[in-house]
Amino acid sequence: MAQRPLSPHLSIWKWGPAMLVSILHRATGDAMALVGLPILLWWLAALASGPEAYAFFANLANSWVGYIVLVGISWSFFNHFASGIRHFVMDIGAGYAVDSNNRWSVLTTVSGFVLTAAFWAVIVLR
CATH no. for residue 57? 1.20.1300.10
pTM, rounded to two decimals: 0.86
The reported pLDDT for the residue numbered 38 is: 97
Structural domain range at position 117: 18-125
pLDDT by 10s per residue, the chain, length 126: 667 766 666 667 778 899 999 999 999 999 999 999 999 999 999 999 999 999 999 999 999 999 999 999 999 999 999 999 999 999 998 888 889 999 999 999 999 999 999 999 999 998
Query: How many distinct structural domains can be found in the chain?
Result: 1
Asked whether residue 4 is assigned to any structural domain, the reply reads no
Residue 68, domain member (yes or no): yes
CA distance 51 to 75: 29
Q: What is residue 10's predicted lDDT score, i.e. its pLDDT?
A: 60
Residues 96 and 12 sit within 8 Å (Cβ to Cβ):
no
Residue 12 lies in a domain: no
Residues 20-58 as b or e (16 or more Cβ within 10 Å = b): ebeebbeebbebbeeebeebeeeeeebeeeeeeeeeebe
In a domain, 9, yes or no: no
Task: Please give the pLDDT value at position 111.
Answer: 97
Q: Judge whether 84 lies within some domain.
A: yes
Helices (H), the chain: 17-31, 37-49, 51-61, 64-92, 98-125
Query: Is residue 35 domain-resident?
Result: yes
Query: What is the predicted pLDDT for the residue at 15?
Result: 81
Among the listed residues 39, 120, 112, the one whose alpha carbon sits nearest the alpha carbon of residue 77: 112
